Each structure stands twice: as C-alpha cells, then as structure tokens.
Amino acid sequence: MRLILTALIMIIGIFDCMLGIGFLILPMETARSFGLAAAHNGGLSTMRADMTAFFLVAGITMIWGAWKRSGTVLLVPAALFLIALFGRLVSLFADGPYDGFLMPMVIEAITVAIVLMAARMLPHRLPQGG
C-alpha cells in the first residue's frame, strides 16, 4: 500500500509541476482550463506568479516527500490543497454553485486524502542530504 501511495503522489506531483510550468509559460491557455481569464497585465502577472507558485510548491514537495519517503514534507501539499478546498467551500456558500463546481473540489479532496494517508504511513522526519 505504501508503494502504491508513493507512486500516486509522485504522479500527482509531476502533474502539478506541469500545471505550474504551464501557468508560468502559457498562463492564458492554462488558465482557461480553470475557468480563469486575466482582465489586464496585472491579472496575467498574478496568475503567472500565484498559480505557478501553488502548483510548483505542491508538486515539488509531493515529489520530494515521495522520493525521500518523508511524511513531514508531504504535510506541505496537504495543507495547500486543504486550504484550496476550504476556499472552494467558502465560495460555494458565499457565491453559490456554478457549472462544474464539484469536480475541482473532488480532485482537491482526493489529493488531500492520498497525501495525508501517505504522510501517515511514511516516517516523520526531514530528508537528510542528497
């Protein structure tokens, strides 16, 4: 089970890194798949900075935590996706549902569950050296 969870986290981490790079290099195209659009260069800059940061930090820490078998490192992406899920819940109650609102929430909830299960199974220590 630990091997399967580690492999899943590695795959999700690679996918998240690809999303982060997509937001850095092609923010408008990547943003469309998220239902986002920039009104001007400030919005484009925010998407390029914040979405890249979110997905690269999540992806890199998933890959690093899986590679080094460190449950402690996996708490970072778990927190990121849990906060994102919480934000979606707040938006659901404050703004109401929209077409397709459930899919991102399901993906975030599954990601949190997988990462937390793996974090619980793996040792809680910071990785040492190369």
Task: Examine residue 130 and state whether it is found in any structural domain, yes or no.
Answer: no
Residues 6+ apart with CB under 8 A from 122: 2, 6, 65, 69, 70, 71, 74
Is the predicted pLDDT of residue 129 greater than 70, yes or no? no
Q: What mean pLDDT, rounded, does the chain reach?
A: 93
- Provide the pLDDT confidence category of residue 130 given band limits of 50, 70 and 90: low
For 2-11, what is the mean pLDDT?
Answer: 93
In the chain, the number of structural domains is 1
- Provide the pLDDT confidence category of residue 18 given band limits of 50, 70 and 90: very high
Q: Which two tokens stand for residue 27?
A: 């923010």
At residue 95, the pLDDT reads: 96
For 102-117, what is the mean pLDDT?
Answer: 96
Give residue 85's domain range: 2-121
Closest CA to 84 of 60, 61, 50: 50
Task: Examine residue 128 and state whether it is found in any structural domain, yes or no.
Answer: no
What is the biggest distance separating any 2 CA atoms in the chain, rounded to whole angstroms? 48
At residue 60, the pLDDT reads: 98
More confident residue, 130 or 6: 6
- Predicted TM-score of the model (pTM): 0.90
Task: Examine residue 9 and state whether it is found in any structural domain, yes or no.
Answer: yes
